[in-house]
Structure 1
Amino acid sequence: MELNQALMSGRRGRRLLWEFAVASEETQLETFGEHPLHAAMFFAAYRVAIERGESVGLLGIEESSMPEISAPEIARILDGTSLVSVNAALLQRALVRSVDSARYWQAPDGEDTILALPALAESLERVARHLAACGLASRWLASVDLRNQFQVEFDQHDLQGGTQSPGADSHGILQEWKACVLATEARDAAELLGTPLGSFSGEWWSIPSHRLPSTTGVFPGHQPVGLSCVEDGFGWEQASVRLVSVLPSVRVLEISTADDWIRLCREHGLEVTAHKRHDWYQTTGRDGAWKIPDWLAVARNYDAVHLSIGAYLALAGECLEIDEKFSSVIAGWDPDRTFWFTDSLRLYEPAQEWTCLEANSEDARWVPSSDVPSS
């Protein structure tokens, strides 16, 4: 898969392209001046939310005075927006904002909905070519970098059960995970049979287990990807980061294309229709049967599974057709995340503490805690 294709084919990729274009506009225009590109999408996305019946409001603006902005009009403004030179900071910021926008328990937000329209395809492709040509994202389609794997532990326990340190009983965790999936599917099949479609929300993710050890690589500035690129994060402000030692002989399953995921579901699939149906209908619009990979079965042949940044941008949240009956969704994954099925991981270096400045804002950024001035 070419990088251009990855950026254009998925909602997370298209959102990254949009965020880079908006950042280009912000860089070239005065802070408090007019930003036509940002404004056009703001009003158009608001209209989408209103039409869906979502509870939204505009402070100080009458809805009747809002401009009617069409997708072709947004495309025209985007075509006229000069794209700034690509640097690592802008690219990382665009990726982080795309990940922050992911929501697979409800319909795509207004921006994602509009960016999927054919009227914007040619305009977004210009941005995709611009980013691909710079070379800074060349490793986004690469396999896992075993020399630079970092585990991130945040200052709060994950609501799904937290993370486990290397050395945990991964096989036992996977056994418990599968038993829980089967029990949840049986329970929801019995209890939700007559529930109106889309009226219930449950476990919408398709990762192996929140309790398994997991790692990510690093951005060019050596910041671990797992610090800032987290789907459905909790606004953490502190984190401990540790370099993980990985044997070079480990067998890593690479999820690089849709076919990789589909093959897993065909060969080692678990049906999850009852407890995914409502959420995945909301995010994909498809009413049908669903499967996810049986990670316990996958672990018999592999020590880990890795989703590259490029594959994440192309596939996360998309409806992936397995056969005439079943489809699947990659949901709850983070870009460049590797989940480990082995207990051979080791931590040899002390943890490095990181702090999130301006947490819970669009200007949030992670820095080593040693670089934060004392108050």
Structure 2
Amino acid sequence: MGCSGAARDVAARLLLGPRGRRLCLEYAVHSSPAVGSARFPLARHLDVNPGARYSLTGRAPAPADDPIPTAEELVACLRTVDLSTVDPEGVTEALRASLNSARYWQEPDGNDEVAALPEVRAALHPIAELVAAALPGLASLRGKEQWAVDWNSAENAAPLPTDPAAALRMWTRELADEEQRAARDRPLDPHARWSGTWWSVPQTILETRGTVDAALELVEDSFGWTAATFIPVSGFGSVLEIESADDWARLCRDYPVEVTASRRHDWFRTTGRNGRWVIPHWERVAQDWDAVHLTALGYYSSATQLVRVDAEFASVIAGWAPDSTLWLRDVAREATAARQEWSRPTDQDEWARITDA
């Protein structure tokens, strides 16, 4: 299957981040049973918490004396993946698996470790080109169509969040209070088994997604919701685009707030780094921007990994979905289009649209 220059560039950027590499590895597993057979025991071998993560897979752990496949053997299997055509169902499953395996409060799982091996990462490049060609919107900026999601049925859906200025003032106060408590109460040793707030974006302001399908399928740390109401949103004003780790680092440098005490333990487990941490001071960002949008490619190339801000500080893009917009000012309203109600049976992946809500 042919690949344009733009798709090759997107493919290279996908492989910069854990979520992008995992996306490509999961597509390969879907496409080739041989890849899955080699990947599973190698991932379990590299996982620092194999018992906790693999006990529910339905597969019996390999006996201790069974040989563990090498990275070279997995690479040989990756070279057998059919690149002549793309499987849309495989892409969707891989996207879902990549998001659902994002972790910001513990070490990367064995599959992320496998995908990060240099020889595996290199072998994933042709697969990344195939995936990039199948997903032409990965690098797209914020689109006009936006949707807010409420994980409830239509009759139980809450109104859209309002008064972002008040919400951001509260966010600033709560962040300062948590940082002060954490500095007082939590150990300095990053290895201490302590967890707390790990996300890097506000949770109480309006957040929208570019498409209904992405909002349904691409969810970090899903709680297994069975109902969703989608609310059409229109907004205007200045939008800052986060397309890469460099963009995130620049945002942190321009509007820094230190979160070392509150994120130390979680982000050490995620990145292996012991040092000082910052995130954007979102109330200050709102002085200059109406909204901030994380592109899908920005997410897959940059989330769940260390982002160096300067010689002393680093950050993590955590808890922010791909192709997602945070509305920092009161410039977004419910649009005139109809709301949509969706549902799915418990323990199933497929959603079905019920009706306009």
Alpha carbons of structure 1 residues 198 and 336: separation in structure 2 relative to 1, 3 Å = farther
Distance 2:164 2:207 in 1: 11
Matched with 1:217 is: 210
Alpha carbons of structure 1 residues 211 and 196: separation in structure 2 relative to 1, 3 Å = closer
Alpha-carbon distance, 1:72 to partner? 1.3
Distance 1:170 1:61 in 2: 49
Task: Give the match's secondary structure for 2:351.
Answer: strand
1:193 aligns to 2:191 (yes or no): no
Q: Deviations over 1:13-66 (max 9, x none)?
A: 0011111112222xxxxxxxxx221111111112223x5575454765562354
Distance 1:253 1:94 in 2: 28
Alpha carbons of structure 1 residues 227 and 166: separation in structure 2 relative to 1, 3 Å = same
Distance 1:16 1:60 in 2: 24
TM-score normalised by the chain length of structure 1? 0.85
Task: Name the amino acid aligned to 2:214.
Answer: V
Matched with 1:298 is: 285
Task: Give the match's secondary structure for 2:98.
Answer: helix
What CA RMSD, in Å, does the superposition of the two structures yield over aligned residues? Answer: 2.3
Alpha carbons of structure 1 residues 352 and 124: separation in structure 2 relative to 1, 3 Å = same
Task: Name the amino acid aligned to 2:176.
Answer: L
Alpha carbons of structure 1 residues 175 and 281: separation in structure 2 relative to 1, 3 Å = same
Task: Give the match's secondary structure for 1:9.
Answer: coil
Alpha carbons of structure 1 residues 61 and 270: separation in structure 2 relative to 1, 3 Å = closer
Correspondence 1:1-375 to 2 at 5 A: 2-25=9-32, 35-49=33-47, 52=49, 54-55=51-52, 56-57=54-55, 60=60, 63-64=63-64, 66-83=66-83, 85-86=85-86, 88-132=88-132, 134=133, 136-146=134-144, 148-155=145-152, 165-166=159-160, 168-194=162-188, 197-207=191-201, 209-218=202-211, 223-247=212-236, 250-347=237-334, 348-357=336-345, 359-360=346-347, 364-370=349-355
Distance 2:278 2:347 in 1: 34
Alpha carbons of structure 1 residues 93 and 127: separation in structure 2 relative to 1, 3 Å = same
Task: Name the amino acid aligned to 1:37.
Answer: V
Alpha carbons of structure 1 residues 353 and 84: separation in structure 2 relative to 1, 3 Å = farther
Distance 2:21 2:84 in 1: 18
Alpha-carbon distance, 1:83 to partner? 3.2
Task: Name the amino acid aligned to 1:91.
Answer: V
Query: Would you say the 8 A contact 1:7–1:313 is kept in 2?
Result: yes
Distance 1:129 1:62 in 2: 33
Alpha-carbon distance, 1:251 to partner? 0.7
Matched with 1:160 is: none
Distance 1:370 1:63 in 2: 51
Task: Give the match's secondary structure for 2:86.
Answer: coil
Greater alpha carbon shift after TM alignment, 117-126 vs 269-278: 117-126
- Aligned pair count? 343
Matched with 1:28 is: none
Query: Would you say the 8 A contact 2:290–2:331 is kept in 1?
Result: no
Which blocks of at least 5 consecutive residues in structure 1 are unaligned?
Answer: 26-34, 157-162
Distance 1:237 1:293 in 2: 33
Query: Would you say the 8 A contact 1:21–1:78 is kept in 2?
Result: yes
Alpha carbons of structure 1 residues 287 and 61: separation in structure 2 relative to 1, 3 Å = closer
Task: Give the match's secondary structure for 2:64.
Answer: helix
Alpha carbons of structure 1 residues 61 and 317: separation in structure 2 relative to 1, 3 Å = closer
Matched with 2:3 is: none
Query: Would you say the 8 A contact 2:244–2:297 is kept in 1?
Result: no
Alpha-carbon distance, 1:86 to partner? 2.2
Alpha-carbon distance, 1:90 to partner? 3.4
Distance 1:278 1:15 in 2: 24
Query: Would you say the 8 A contact 1:150–1:224 is kept in 2?
Result: no
Alpha-carbon distance, 1:229 to partner? 1.1
Alpha-carbon distance, 1:309 to partner? 0.5
Alpha-carbon distance, 1:198 to partner? 4.0
Query: Would you say the 8 A contact 2:21–2:121 is kept in 1?
Result: no
Alpha-carbon distance, 1:195 to partner? 5.1
Query: Would you say the 8 A contact 1:198–1:282 is kept in 2?
Result: no
Which blocks of at least 5 consecutive residues in structure 2 are unaligned?
Answer: 1-5
Alpha carbons of structure 1 residues 65 and 142: separation in structure 2 relative to 1, 3 Å = same
Alpha carbons of structure 1 residues 173 and 164: separation in structure 2 relative to 1, 3 Å = farther
